[in-house]
Amino acid sequence: MYPQAEVIGPQGLDIALPTVKFDFLFTPETLDRTFGDNEVQAHYFPGYANKDIAFLHVPSKTMLNADLAENLPAKEQYSQTGIDPASGFWTGLFIKMFSPHNWIHNFVLSYAFAKDKEAMKRDVKVVSGWDFDRLVPCHGDVMETGAKKYWNDLYEKFLR
């Protein structure tokens, strides 16, 4: 249906999924890629524990990512379930952990997720230089506005 679509991913995913033919793999040597007519920019975070990739949809000023920036609790996800998205021990802990200016988040990011702090400094600065206002995270609600400030607050330690 989409014959020009490309299968992309971080280095190592090709080993984990040997039956998938990848058109492009991000590596520490190939951190950036632009798609379309400069419509989508991508930047790879090899220093992050799960090798995340951040995407910027330039026309809409929207940043998309998996685990680099979350916006919990996930009210949208749970809106039709009748379940409080902030209930439960683990959910409450994650909401606290992944909030800007929280010592737990800073500790977890610095010691668990940031495997290469110099690479993280470089990569966080690249995304901080993007022109975005909206965030579509893998975990949590879409942040319609204020996403760049949120990003800069989350990663202030790496922006110094």
pTM: 0.87
Q: Note down pLDDT in tens along the chain; length 160 residues.
A: 888 889 999 999 999 999 999 999 999 999 999 999 999 999 999 999 999 999 999 999 999 999 888 766 667 776 777 777 677 777 777 766 666 667 777 777 777 899 999 999 999 999 999 999 999 988 788 899 999 999 998 898 899 8
- Which SS3 state, helix, strand or coil, does residue 64 take? strand
Residue type present at position 127 = V
Whole-angstrom CA distances from 130 to 108, 116, 149 are 25, 22, 12
What is residue 154's predicted lDDT score, i.e. its pLDDT?
Answer: 87
What is residue 98's predicted lDDT score, i.e. its pLDDT?
Answer: 65
Pairing state of beta strands 53-57 and 62-65?
antiparallel
